[in-house]
Amino acid sequence: MDFKIAPELQTLTQRVRTFIDQEVIPLEAHAYDDPVEGLPLPLLQEVRDKAKQAGLWCPTMPPELGGLGLSLQEIVPVFEAAGRSLLGPLALNCSAPDEGNMHLLNMFANADQREKYLKPLANGDIFSAFAMTEPAPGAGSDPSMLKTTAVLEGDHWVINGHKWWTTGAGLASFLIIMARTDPDSAARGGATLFLAPIDSPGIEIIRRISHMGEPDLGGHCEIKFHNVRLGPEAVLGEVGRGFALVQARLGPARLTHCMRWTGIAQRALEIATAYATQREAFGSSLSGHQAIQWMLADSATELHAGRLMIQQAAWLLEQGDQARQEASMTKVFVAETVHRVIDRAIQICGGLGISDDLPLSKWYQAARAFRIYDGASEVHRMVVARGVIKAYGHASTTH
């Protein structure tokens, strides 16, 4: 691997960081102005317009869609800079789920689907949601448990099922729905993705799920599908290829989550370091005490290791490697690192750390979910362990 960052990418990353520090972080004071959406939509639209004017809009989309056309490797430092605020990715139109959905549509949507869904999504005119996760006994981390069905009746698909944790559905203009289209096929060959306008007859948004952390734009919704009829034009990609498309979306999406959360963790370390150097206790600044120094050192070391893991996994994916083990290792390590770094920052800041005078306690709550979504840490450890055992079995038969 070549670890050099091109000068123009360094410049872009610094511009993103400056934009986040000057235009986005001040908006955190308004993150609870709207009790449902968090940041009021007019303020979001205003900062999005500024991002477009600054030439920082939609980093992952190609220029013909108004984006910067950055590769997966190139967005690593850019997304970290954007992630210094939980509002940063929203401001630049590179937040979940829209960023992952744009990536999916850009790879697999046909011309009509690009015009109807991708172009307005990339321009920030609409929002989207990805309806895959189901409540028990449906699909969570195990896709073989997918219960939502799509049955072909004439030339229309009829969808019935129950989803939850459909992020952004409360404001979405359309859903990407994962449903089983062949009940007799293995789970990985019997699912299909469908594009459905949110106002399609039969789509019922039951509720926004109350959760830890800050309000999220569009919420995390529970949805039921009651005989939702969709034409053949609703199929994304090919019938029966849903799982393959989902993997193409989730592989990079796991890494982009890691990039963004690394930005928050780095900012938490900076807050803790600033406090430790200024706070006097027991005859010196807190930063003069070894216990505090070791916490700062451990956080910096783990963030450094996480960055290298993200870079290597992104490089592998760009080489055409599925990088399943590496992506799983990265997701586990970074998610747990972020938790530890924020936890240490709170500990260092003491009473101030658990107050709302600093954002640390809110980040701590929000970051806890990162060890669950996009695959729980235990699931990713299972993937890694399987690879280790398989490699051992191969090695033992060749020696």
% residues pLDDT > 70 (the chain): 98
- In the block, tokens 């599908």 appear at 225
Is residue 163 within 8 A of residue 206, CB to CB? The reply is no
Q: What is the structure's pLDDT at 35?
A: 85
Q: How many angstroms separate the CA atoms of 25 and 278, rounded?
A: 22
Within a domain: 105: no
Q: What is the structure's pLDDT at 302?
A: 98
Domain count, the chain: 3
Partners of 130 in the β-ladder: 176
Burial of 378 per CB tally in 10 Å (0-12, 13-18, 19+): exposed
User: Averaged over 261-281, what is the pLDDT?
Assistant: 96
Within a domain: 111: no
Query: Whole-number mean pLDDT of the chain?
Result: 94
Q: What is the structure's pLDDT at 189?
A: 65
Q: Are residues 220 and 153 in the same domain?
A: yes
Question: Which has the higher per-residue pLDDT, 32 or 73?
Answer: 73
The pLDDT-based confidence of 186 (bands split at 50, 70, 90) is low
Q: Are residues 267 and 376 in the same domain?
A: yes
Return the amino acid letter for 280.
Answer: E
- Domain containing residue 190: CATH number: 2.40.110.10
- Assess whether pLDDT exceeds 90 at residue 213: no
For 222-260, what is each residue's pLDDT tens digit? 999 999 999 999 999 999 999 999 988 888 999 999 999
- In the block, tokens 């630049």 appear at 92
Q: Are residues 79 and 195 in the same domain?
A: no
The pLDDT-based confidence of 214 (bands split at 50, 70, 90) is confident
Q: How many angstroms separate the CA atoms of 352 and 350, rounded?
A: 5
The pLDDT-based confidence of 159 (bands split at 50, 70, 90) is very high
The pLDDT-based confidence of 276 (bands split at 50, 70, 90) is very high
Of 178, 201, 236, which residue is a domain's last?
236
- Assess whether pLDDT exceeds 80 at residue 1: no
Q: Are residues 285 and 386 in the same domain?
A: yes
User: Averaged over 304-310, what is the pLDDT?
Assistant: 98
Q: Are residues 258 and 346 in the same domain?
A: yes
Range of the domain at 157: 128-236
Q: Are residues 218 and 341 in the same domain?
A: no
